């Protein structure tokens, strides 16, 4: 669940006294918050930081709250917006909801009502986060799924090229899983897959390396900002941990390859090449005895050129 401290709220009002009251209340509620005294200042802050909720007055000089709401709905659709206005409001509840607002509160506001409305928006944010995680996660192992791999590998390859650091892909296959399933049943096979998932999670750097169940009995890890020796150490750590706990019959074969950016191919072609080379290295690990790591030697050829 999302903690209150991780929620960040931007408060927007041209009345300094109202802004001060809002800041004190939201802080007492336990949320992180910042303030902006008009719509343009709010836009600047939205560009510089990440906010989950914007609470904005509607009647402001220059950029109105309605204009700010429309801009946020268009450019930051993930942000929840609650609008604040007086009894002489120029906009109806229907107007602001149709423009993209998540809720509406009138001045003078009651602190209990404000807290309740913010809490409701936070629950919606939590629910959306959980649904997003479900859509990109493998239900059995808890690792990311193939769908998310296709997105993440492009992001990380571009980042590696932009920041001039190496990126490696480790493709991991469970040896003899079919035989395990045939002898002991698929429930035992599922236990093996869950074990692999836990070992991979514990063997990599959280939010730096990215673990996936690629499909069936195959897993992969995107290993970022490392040398070849460091990437190999990560693969060895995973293999060693599995060998300490592995069920009979099984093992892990691992193929390791470095991303190579070419001058004459597009990004998709270079990523396909990376996956292909990691798969070939995995196949060689299978051919040469299984339960071992093979490094793609294109890495060495490229470094020598």
Catalytic sites, residue numbers = 217
**Per-residue DSSP letter, 181:** H
Tokens of 70: 């429309």
Question: For residues 208 and 223, what is the distance between their CA atoms, to the nearest angstrom?
Answer: 8
The SS3 of residue 35 is strand
The pairing of beta strand 53-57 with beta strand 103-106: unpaired
Find the distance separating the first CA and the last CA of the chain, reported in whole Å. Answer: 50
Q: Is the dihedral of CA 214, 217, 223, 229 positive or negative?
A: negative
Tokens of 166: 């190496």
The edge-to-edge listing of strands for the beta sheet with 32-36 is: 32-36, 8-12, 53-57, 80-85, 103-106
Name the strand (E) or helix (H) holding 189.
helix 186-203
What torsion, rounded to 10 degrees, do the Cα atoms 252, 255, 258, 263 define?
-140
Question: For residues 292 and 282, what is the distance between their CA atoms, to the nearest angstrom?
Answer: 9
273: closest CA among 283, 259, 284, 285? 259
Question: For residues 103 and 79, what is the distance between their CA atoms, to the nearest angstrom?
Answer: 12
Other C-beta atoms lying within 10 Å of the C-beta of residue 225: 16
**Per-residue DSSP letter, 137:** B
Tokens of 244: 């300490």
Backbone angles phi, psi at 289, to 5 degrees: 125, -10
* 146-163 helix and 111-136 helix, angle to the nearest 10 degrees: 100
């Amino acid at each position: 669940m999302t903690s209150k401290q991780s929620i960040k709220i931007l408060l927007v009002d041209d009345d300094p006294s109202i802004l001060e009251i809002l800041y004190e209340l939201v802080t007492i509620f336990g949320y992180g918050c910042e303030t902006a005294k008009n719509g343009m200042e709010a836009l600047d802050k939205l560009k510089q930081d990440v906010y989950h909720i914007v609470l904005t007055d509607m009647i402001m000089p220059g950029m109105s709250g309605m204009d700010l709401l429309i801009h946020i709905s268009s450019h930051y659709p993930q942000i929840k917006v609650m609008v604040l206005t007086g009894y002489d409001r120029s906009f109806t509840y229907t107007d602001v909801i149709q423009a993209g607002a998540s809720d509406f509160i009138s001045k003078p506001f009651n602190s209990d009502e404000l807290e309740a409305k913010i809490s409701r928006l936070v629950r919606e944010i939590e629910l959306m986060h959980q649904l997003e995680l479900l859509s990109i996660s493998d239900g059995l192992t808890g690792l990311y799924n193939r769908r998310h791999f296709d997105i993440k590998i492009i992001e990380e390859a571009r980042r590696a090229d932009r920041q001039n650091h190496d990126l490696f892909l480790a493709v991991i296959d469970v040896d003899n899983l079919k035989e395990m399933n045939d002898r002991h049943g698929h429930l035992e096979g599922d236990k093996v897959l869950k074990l692999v998932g836990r070992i991979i999670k514990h063997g990599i750097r959280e939010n730096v390396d990215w673990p996936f169940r690629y499909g069936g009995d195959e897993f992969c890890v995107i290993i970022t900002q490392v040398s070849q020796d460091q990437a190999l150490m990560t693969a060895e750590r995973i293999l060693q941990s599995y060998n300490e706990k592995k069920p009979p019959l099984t093992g892990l074969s691992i193929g390791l390859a470095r991303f190579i950016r070419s001058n004459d191919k597009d990004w998709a072609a270079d990523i396909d090449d990376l996956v292909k080379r990691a798969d070939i290295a995995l196949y060689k690990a299978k051919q040469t005895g299984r339960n071992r790591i093979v490094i793609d030697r294109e890495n060495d050829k490229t470094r020598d050129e």
